[in-house]
Structure 1
Amino acid sequence: MTGSRPGLGVVGRRLAQFLLDEMLVFVPMLLLAIAVVWLFHPHGVALLTFLKIVFYTMLALDLVGQWFVNAWWPYRHGGQTPAMRWLRLRVVTLEGTHPSLAAFVVRELLMVVDGFAWGLTGIGVMLATRRRQRFGDVVARTVVVHVPRGRDGLGESADQAAFPGPDGDFGAVAGPQLALGRADVGLDRGHRHHE
């Protein structure tokens, strides 16, 4: 991998993907909440209590929905959320392999950090890191890469590589070129370098 940093286009594409995935969960929850309030609302003083119950229930369902879309779904669908598939993005490990469920859970849990200050923390971290990783990616040791046409799972043959190839805008590639050097991952402790 070259020493050049990926272009800023990755940040914009990841923001679009994040907003699409958020809407995929939030809009149905909002419509369900409106329907419940409209169909089942009580009259009088109990209305405020009813609205609180609906709000907290929808908040809990939204959290479950976010976990499903951002952790479980990509784990089961080749590292892609629905919006990642639409925008041809994929989450891979730094070695270019499919991340574990634990890595997706870590990424989702650390969205609390990345989402701080309306997402400005995550954007700042992406702009500061060489591979345009948000904090959740750095900790989970993952990177988001571009999936070239024909490798998005639609009509892909069984003998094609499972992970994307080089992409100048994203600066990330699958396979050994993506992997960090021994010193970068701390594997050189107690080992001699063979050059």
Structure 2
Amino acid sequence: MVKLKAVNLIPREILRKPLLRQFLSLCKRNRWFRYGAFAAAALALLVIIHACAAGLWQINFAAAKNAAQQAKTRLAQLQTQFLELEKQKAGLFKEQAAKQQELDFLSSTMSGEKKYSKLMALISGFVPEDLWVNHFTFSGAEVQIIGSMLNNQLVSQFMENLDKSGVFKNSAFTYSEKQVIENHTIYNFQITTEPIWDHGELKG
């Protein structure tokens, strides 16, 4: 039986040197060893970079998720506040209309303001419950009314009230859009109506 003798391919003078010096000497003497060492170092560096990048991505993702949740909570709060403000606005409009009705403008130079205040007071008297007027414009021949409501059927009732009043006629629907705020549905609308004049004065 033939015995195989172990052969150490690393020169003895290298083995006598410290570990780091042995490594450097091998790199100098053996180009394939040098290439392998560089490849291993590059691979280790890539693994470290990948681990750092993955950790950074997880941190950024967690921060972004937290920011999104905070924004969602804040939006819900603002939507609730918006709905409450819209209801308060409706109450203020009716209160203002009632006060405007009590004003007596004596000066002829204020006839336009007098007509406007009388229109606002009259319109508020025909507004159904859960419907509020946000704004209206008056051109003399036509009044454009913009408002909101909790039930999209209320705008038909509003127009019917105007046409039956004897003060307005030819009420017409322009548009309506649905808006959901904190599980509450609001319908924004716009209509037009024509005041009925009697010798230059608004009836009613």
- Normalising by structure 1, what TM-score? 0.28
Query: Max radius of gyration: which structure?
Result: 2
- Normalising by structure 2, what TM-score? 0.28
| Higher relative contact order, chain-length normalized (CA < 8 Å, sep 6+) | 1
